[in-house]
């Protein structure tokens, strides 16, 4: 048996052991998850920058098409076209504040991935677990296509396609496809597909569940079939555009990029796209015939097509914006799918918040007013009324509020403040407020990033595996 197959079987068994109490078997979903012949087709690559530690260690792993930045340890794991982005890890001598605790760090934080399979998965941010402030661990975990592990240490977990766990430590959990969880800490939890849950104990609790049949049209998977749905078809139709950036080590620079903006060389930018000052475009982003105004960003796995973002817009990891106009300061959350049509544009007013994992799929022009929050499935004006609220109204909620399939408990003022504070933080760290001297962020620092490639074994028992490598200055 080849080493790749041995490793794959080992990881699947370890994940299953952790999920035995949930009676969840990952084997049917893991079957054909990574075609073995793909593991030798793509090189892995890592970034070098003066602003982040160069400290990488790969041991007995396969890394095809994956990207690494910062301090990372990969051990006994299979990664396929995943992004392990450690540019926001905590640094030695920093003080990590959590509730009333102040935890001084004695070492730089590390992303430590062990005995895990990550497929087209984004790992980003830093550990928000006060018990492991210096180690963002991912152990005994299987994450499927286009999932996000964002500041979320994980042990013994399964994430379905397009699932996101955000700023949450999870142990022995199975997160359903297209589910979003931000809850601090979860254990032995199994979520149904399309569960959107934001919980801050004692402050607020937001819960929405997608209609099962409606969600299946967009993203679904089963033990008998590979994942399918509109979201997969949308990405599949555009995958050839990414091939060129992986085929060429050096690509011609795009001269129209301002000095204060950053465009990753592994992003796709097609004609008639304009990028203004302080814009950040991350790797695997896709831009076509669009305008990104000052301070906007397009994070990993984003698609922005035939759209105009006025500025200071956050397009979070995996979000897709098609045939839309976004006024200043609009936030579009993780893996959202905003799908206007040429003859029926989507227009979103200033300061509005599109919740993570929102689907807006319209055949007639839709107007979302300024300073509104939108969630769930929206296909027309009626569903918009059932799945949105003015922020001015939400801040007045003191106990509970229900609308459609969404239920909210707690203080709306705290919920809105938490979102607004986080949006400001995202813009700040991405360099949206850079003035030529102060407030430098990723958009400016990433200009000093160089990329290097590493290759797997192409023959023999080790085919598809990578040699053990330690990379330091």
Q: How far apart are CA 142 and CA 161, in angstroms?
A: 11
- Beta bridge pairs of residue 57: 73, 470
Assigned CATH class of 3-227+450-471: mainly beta
Task: Find, among 234, 405, 389, the residue nearest to 322 by Cα.
Answer: 234
Q: What percent of the chain has pLDDT over 70?
A: 97
CB atoms within 10 A of CB 32: 8
Per-residue pLDDT band for 247 (boundaries 50, 70, 90) equals: low
Q: What is the pLDDT of residues 189-232, one digit of tens each?
A: 999 999 999 999 999 999 999 999 999 999 998 877 778 999 99
Q: Cite the beta strand spans of 210-298 per DSSP E.
A: 220-222, 225-228, 262-263, 268-269, 274-275, 280-281, 286-288, 291-292, 297-298
250 vs 44, 48, 217, 301, 454, CA distance in Å?
15, 16, 39, 21, 15
- The pLDDT value recorded for residue 350 is 98
- The pLDDT value recorded for residue 190 is 97
For the cut 90, the answer to whether the pLDDT of residue 135 exceeds it is yes
Query: What fold is seen in the domain 238-395+418-446?
Result: UDP N-Acetylglucosamine Acyltransferase; domain 1 (2.160.10)
Model confidence pTM above 0.85: yes
- For residues 459 and 115, the model is more confident at 115
- The pLDDT value recorded for residue 224 is 74
154 vs 9, 17, 165, 184, 190, CA distance in Å?
20, 15, 9, 12, 14
Mean per-residue pLDDT, 326-346: 98
What is the overall mean pLDDT for the chain? 94
The helices-and-strands tally (H runs, E runs) of the chain is 9, 50
Q: How far apart are CA 327 and CA 348, in angstroms?
A: 6
Q: CATH topology of 3-227+450-471 equal to that of 238-395+418-446?
A: yes
Q: How far apart are CA 303 and CA 317, in angstroms?
A: 10
For the cut 80, the answer to whether the pLDDT of residue 248 exceeds it is no
- The pLDDT value recorded for residue 347 is 98
Q: What is the pLDDT of residues 21-39, one digit of tens each?
A: 999 999 988 877 887 788 8
Q: What is the pLDDT of residues 376-387, one digit of tens each?
A: 999 999 999 999
Map out the domains of the chain as residue ranges.
3-227+450-471, 238-395+418-446
Per-residue pLDDT band for 365 (boundaries 50, 70, 90) equals: very high
Q: What is the pLDDT of residues 398-434, one digit of tens each?
A: 999 999 999 999 999 999 999 999 999 999 999 999 9
Mean per-residue pLDDT, 132-157: 97
Mean per-residue pLDDT, 328-348: 98
Per-residue pLDDT band for 254 (boundaries 50, 70, 90) equals: low
For the cut 80, the answer to whether the pLDDT of residue 246 exceeds it is no
Per-residue pLDDT band for 252 (boundaries 50, 70, 90) equals: low
Mean per-residue pLDDT, 276-295: 96
């Amino acid at each position: 048996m080849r080493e790749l197959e041995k490793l794959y079987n080992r990881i699947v068994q370890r994940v299953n052991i952790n999920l035995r109490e949930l009676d969840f078997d990952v084997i049917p979903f893991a079957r054909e998850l990574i075609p073995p012949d793909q593991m030798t087709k793509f090189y892995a690559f890592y970034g070098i920058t003066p602003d982040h530690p160069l400290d990488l260690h790969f041991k007995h792993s396969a890394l095809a098409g994956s990207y690494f930045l910062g301090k990372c340890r990969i051990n006994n794991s299979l990664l396929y076209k995943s992004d392990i982005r450690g540019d926001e890890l905590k640094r030695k001598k920093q003080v990590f504040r959590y509730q009333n605790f102040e935890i001084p760090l004695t070492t730089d934080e590390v992303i430590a991935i062990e005995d895990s399979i990550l497929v087209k998965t984004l790992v980003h941010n830093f550990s928000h677990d006060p018990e492991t402030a210096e180690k963002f661990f991912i152990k005994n975990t299987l994450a499927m296509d286009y999932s996000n592990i964002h500041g979320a240490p994980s042990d013994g977990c399964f994430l379905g396609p397009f699932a996101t766990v955000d700023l949450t430590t999870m142990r022995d959990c199975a997160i359903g496809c297209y589910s979003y969880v931000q809850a601090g800490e979860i254990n032995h939890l199994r979520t149904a597909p399309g569960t959107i849950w934001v919980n801050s104990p004692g402050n607020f609790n937001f819960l929405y569940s997608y209609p099962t049949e409606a969600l299946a049209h967009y993203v679904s998977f089963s033990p008998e079939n590979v994942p399918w749905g509109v979201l997969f078809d949308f990405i599949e139709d555009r995958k050839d555009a990414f091939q060129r950036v992986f085929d060429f080590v050096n690509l011609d620079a795009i001269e129209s990029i301002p000095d204060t903006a950053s465009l990753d060389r592994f992003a796709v930018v097609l004609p008639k796209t304009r990028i203004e000052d302080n814009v950040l475009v991350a790797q695997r982003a896709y831009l076509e015939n669009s305008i990104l105004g000052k301070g906007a960003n397009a994070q990993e796995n984003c698609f922005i097509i035939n759209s105009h973002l006025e500025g200071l817009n956050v397009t979070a990891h995996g979000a897709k914006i098609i045939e839309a106009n976004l006024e200043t300061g609009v936030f579009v959350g993780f893996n959202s799918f905003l799908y206007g049509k040429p003859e029926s544009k989507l227009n979103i007013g200033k300061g509005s918040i599109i919740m993570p994992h929102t689907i807006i799929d319209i055949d007639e022009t839709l107007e979302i007013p300024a300073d509104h929050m939108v969630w769930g499935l929206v296909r027309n004006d009626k569903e918009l009324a059932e799945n949105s609220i003015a922020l001015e109204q939400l801040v007045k909620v003191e106990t509970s509020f229900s609308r459609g399939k969404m239920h909210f408990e707690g203080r709306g003022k705290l919920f809105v403040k938490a979102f607004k504070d986080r949006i400001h933080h995202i813009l700040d760290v991405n360099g949206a407020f850079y003035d030529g001297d102060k407030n430098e962020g990723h958009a400016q620092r990433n200009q000093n990033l160089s990329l290097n490639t590493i290759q797997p074994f192409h023959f023999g028992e080790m085919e598809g595996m990578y040699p053990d490598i330690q990379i330091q200055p």
